[in-house]
Structure 1
């Protein structure tokens, strides 16, 4: 059957349809191109905004990390000072105990609970009381350093992730169709369809929480440092005041001992002088006794000789009366002189006892003075309490 001849109308309709289709394709291409460029522009804007957001958070994290690092360094330095303060308190304590032991070497009756002894006990109590609070703050500092390092670790991890994210988003912003022409298509579609690990709100909260924790630990750290600084200052002040009080007590005691020793030395000089005088008096008494005894012997001899007179001559004449009176008087004088001589010996013995007692007391005071003025100050000389 012969083919039918196509009509001009049908051909024209086909032509028109083709022209319309081409126009539609051109429009579709134009709209696709515009849409693609618009989406790429929006995406670039979002990536740029995202990069700015990450950079802002990154700066916040870096600032907070720098602050927490400074706090850690300050706490480590403070810990070293507290440990040194603990070590520095050991030597004054040894000196105080040594001074107490040295003062126990005095004679029993000298081991009185005097002012120096009481101040030394206070000094030992103050210095021993330093160790407990200082040891406690050392433990607090160690714990705070641990917390600060934990906050530092989380900040560093967050910063590391922020840097990686910023690097990736910056790379995304620089990517073009030409730069990825050699990449396989399989590396595109799957990642786009994957769900996000965290929501934008959760993402912001992660850094906010890390920054807030770091800020809290920084605040706690500064409060602890202020507390420890105050404690170190108070401890040093208390120790210094007590050391000064003990030193003043030593100085006062030394003056008291010197004064007492000086008085006893003056008294000893007087006693020695009195002993000499008493010895001379005793010698004078012995001479007087001998002279009176000679005179008594003479009077008695005269009486005995006159008793040999003839009976008629034995009258009680004035001479006889004088001789009898002289014998009585000389006998009484010799008795009194002998009593005085015996009393003088007693006085000398009493004075010698006083001399020995004074010499012993002076020696005791000299020993106590040597301990309080020489030995203890030599031990205490290195004690210099500075602010820790």
Structure 2
């Protein structure tokens, strides 16, 4: 800085020193402003770069969680579809139990119509009651399983809804952050001009960790419900196979009992029919024997009458001729023997009649039992068989 000229100061002119100081101060201030402008510009660019990096990182974080959510959503949708298909199988299996159960109850009722003398609790009755118990147990089990599947579908849909809501919010957040990343100072005016005047309530502030935990919780819930659903489907699959096997096994056991009982009834009926034929033959033979006995009695009575007539006639001989000669002795003996023969023949006729009455009782008893067997056979072999024939237990 030059030394002030005292002559100028003394001459009453402008204060050059002050002017020089002011000029220097202005120069320094201008330089400071230029430096401040450069620093501010650098800071703005640095902050914008940091903003863009943070926004890009945020968008990538959202995209990562969106992929996780989309993958889990796809899995839970597939699981819901599989569970709905399993529910349809259970409904079909439950419906398929109704007809076999109705047939079983009908067979039990039909067999109760048998005559009281054979209305006993046989193997067929026991197998039918077991069959009814199995079918009712299967129907009850399938009904409970159906309720469990329905509840699991509800839980799966609830998890699906949470994932969809989370994805929707993530998409909105991603769209907003992408818009933020693309914004420039020149685009703000256009944005403010096109901005909707609708008031939007501010959302609750959450930390990044809490924000991430929300999706993690939704994913974990969906994974848990998916695992529960998979386990339930495996259990139901096993139950359907086992129940179908149990029903088939019991139907086969009942059918075998019916067949064995039918064979036994047929065998007993055949034996009774053979016995009846023999009884009828014996009855006819007994009838013929009795007729022969009566013919023999008649013939012996004729011979006895002849001997008695001879004795009576010989009593008319003269007194001196009334000797007990061999002829007289023979006639007396003949009368006695013929009387004894006739008595035995009459007793034989009476015994024959008694035997014939016994045969008639046997005949009636056999005919009654044959009718009973035929009635039982008709119920088991015709009525029950017709009802049971179309009933086939398939794998559910």
Q: Tell me if both proteins adopt one fold, taking TM over 0.5 as the criterion.
A: yes
Corresponding position of 1:32 = 40
Choose which of 144, 155, 165 in structure 2 pairs with 1:136. Answer: 144
Choose which of 7, 13, 20 in structure 2 pairs with 1:4. Answer: 13
Corresponding position of 1:180 = 188
C-alpha deviations, 1:134-182, integer Å up to 9, x for none? 2222222222222222211211111111000000011111112222244
Offset of 1:233 from its aligned partner? 2.1
- Is 1:233 equivalent to 2:232 in the alignment? no
C-alpha deviations, 1:89-139, integer Å up to 9, x for none? 222121111111111111101101110011111111111222322222222
Choose which of 94, 104, 115 in structure 1 pairs with 2:112. Answer: 104
- Is 1:207 equivalent to 2:215 in the alignment? yes
Corresponding position of 2:377 = 369
- Is 1:153 equivalent to 2:165 in the alignment? no
Q: How does 1:231-380 map to 2 (within 5 A)?
A: 231-380=239-388
- Is 1:120 equivalent to 2:122 in the alignment? no
For structure 2, the residue ranges without an aligned partner over 5 or more in a row are: 1-9, 196-201
Distance 1:285 1:184, change over 3 A: closer
Offset of 1:70 from its aligned partner? 1.9
C-alpha deviations, 1:22-52, integer Å up to 9, x for none? 4333333222222222221111111111101
Secondary structure of 2:155's match?
helix
- 1:383 and 1:44 map into 2 onto residues whose CA distance is 73
Corresponding position of 1:190 = none
C-alpha deviations, 1:297-345, integer Å up to 9, x for none? 1111111111111111111111111111111111111111111111111
- 1:309 and 1:243 map into 2 onto residues whose CA distance is 97
For structure 1, the residue ranges without an aligned partner over 5 or more in a row are: 188-193
Secondary structure of 2:393's match?
coil
- 1:105 and 1:27 map into 2 onto residues whose CA distance is 115
Secondary structure of 1:197's match?
coil
C-alpha deviations, 1:54-78, integer Å up to 9, x for none? 0010111111111222222222222
- 2:295 and 2:354 map into 1 onto residues whose CA distance is 18
- 1:372 and 1:176 map into 2 onto residues whose CA distance is 92
TM-score, scaled relative to structure 2: 0.90
Secondary structure of 1:117's match?
helix
- 2:105 and 2:141 map into 1 onto residues whose CA distance is 21
| C-alpha RMSD over aligned residues | 2.1
Structure 1 window deviating more from structure 2 (305-314 vs 220-229): it is 220-229
Distance 1:323 1:196, change over 3 A: closer
Secondary structure of 1:387's match?
coil
Secondary structure of 1:179's match?
helix
TM-score, scaled relative to structure 1: 0.92
Distance 1:196 1:139, change over 3 A: closer
Offset of 1:83 from its aligned partner? 2.5
- 1:183 and 1:306 map into 2 onto residues whose CA distance is 167
Choose which of 56, 60, 73 in structure 2 pairs with 1:65. Answer: 73
Structure 1 window deviating more from structure 2 (113-122 vs 20-29): it is 20-29
Corresponding position of 1:191 = none
Secondary structure of 1:180's match?
helix
